[in-house]
Structure 1
Amino acid sequence: MRKADTADMIMLTEVDSTWHVLLIERGDDPFKGKLALPGGYLDEGENSEEAAKRETLEEVSLTVEVPITFVGTYGERGRDPRGHVVSDAYVVVLNGMPKPKAGDDARKAEWVLVSEALNQTLAFDHGKILRDALKKAGVKI
């Protein structure tokens, strides 16, 4: 089986001393209907940072123009039921809460309280990725 490369974006913002994360509701299997981080497959000739920014634009209609920070690479067996998928994750902390608009394979896009996101099962291993991103960004919940 061939390996597939993906990239995920963790978008965080603090409003009224409360942290929020931008999540999508998946419109397709696997994990149809589950909340997930924006992300997807790398296109030919694209690096993972470029893919994370492109997927964010495609799935939530937001352009990331500020520097993003690499969180880590995730490739545990079984993280994606479609096969051997390795994802690079990036985090960005925004000032304010821009309004997302779902697109591509996202059924919905919304800002969710980080505390609520951590208390539910996100698609793939996105709960672990979110926890790692919070540490990387220095966010304490």
Structure 2
Amino acid sequence: MLKALHHAAIICSDYQRSKLFYTDILGLEVLAENYRAARNSWKLDLLLPNGGQVELFSFPEAPARPSYPEAQGLRHLAFVVDSVDDVKAQLEVRGVAVEPVRVDEYTGKRFTFFSDPDGLPLELYEQ
């Protein structure tokens, strides 16, 4: 029935700041960028190398996330990487705070967390 995750949608508080974070720091490719005048909202479609996508939205006066990270709804967004250490180092050089690397107790895989400009928890998960 379900085959893959097509996209994850994120609502940001500062569109330009988040756009730079996801494109310049994380390196996602811009597929499309549209301003929706009727909603006073931007929609940015971003591409991951495997075809997955992240949709970045702006909405005027969107409420902040109620708590970190245990609010109902999406807990975090995880990205597959070849080397957690390499990507962690690349992010830190660009000024992104990244948590210490941990090991998943069930899979034995290495992972770590960092946050986007709005505090959305993002995960690096080693393949």
TM-score (norm 1): 0.27
Greater Rg over alpha carbons, structure: 2
Higher relative contact order (Cα pairs below 8 Å, separated by 6+ residues): 1
